């Protein structure tokens, strides 16, 4: 997957962040909260149109989310500090959310990853709907 990088994000770090971001999506799709827990910081904020959730709140609400399909594209990364990477991309998703089937829709995603104890964890994720124009 092609990744546009700013501030000379090292290739190995870019590959790790890309893999982690994809693993978060897979964990959410499969409802593998053990994997999700390992990738997301305990102090993380997840920002949706419905509001802000902590990691604990998201894990509690996972039964309301059923991702049936997703794709990720147009990754861009910025490394403003040695242990911080900001990544943006477009996610196209379909599934059942809050009991309502949702046809395919796209959101612009932004995540902040920090390196803690030699491990990259997500501490912020924001979803912004992309209008269908």
Q: Angle at CA 51, nearest 5°, toward 4 and 124?
A: 35
pLDDT tier for residue 133 given thresholds of 50, 70 and 90: low
User: How many of the other CB atoms lie within 10 Å of CB of 131?
Assistant: 5
pLDDT tier for residue 97 given thresholds of 50, 70 and 90: confident
pLDDT at 49: 85
Report the predicted TM-score, pTM, of the whole model to 2 decimal places.
0.90
pLDDT at 7: 65
pLDDT at 109: 97
pLDDT 10s digits, 43-61: 999 999 889 999 999 999 8
Of 71, 79, 82, residue with least CA distance to 109: 71
What residue numbers bound the domain in which 111 lies? 3-129
Q: In total, how many domains does the chain have?
A: 1
């Amino acid at each position: 997957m092609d990744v546009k990088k700013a501030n000379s994000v090292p290739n190995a770090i870019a590959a790790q962040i890309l893999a982690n971001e994809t693993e978060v999506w897979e964990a959410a799709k499969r409802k593998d909260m053990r994997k999700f827990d390992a990738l997301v910081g305990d102090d993380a904020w997840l920002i949706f149109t419905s509001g802000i959730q902590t990691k604990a709140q998201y894990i509690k609400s996972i039964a309301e989310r059923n991702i049936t399909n997703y794709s990720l594209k147009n990754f861009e990364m910025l490394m403003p500090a040695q242990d911080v990477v900001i990544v943006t991309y477009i996610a196209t998703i379909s599934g059942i959310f809050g009991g309502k089937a949702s046809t395919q829709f796209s959101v612009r995603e932004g995540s902040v990853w920090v390196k803690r104890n030699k491990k990259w964890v997500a501490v912020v994720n924001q979803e912004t709907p992309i209008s269908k124009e």
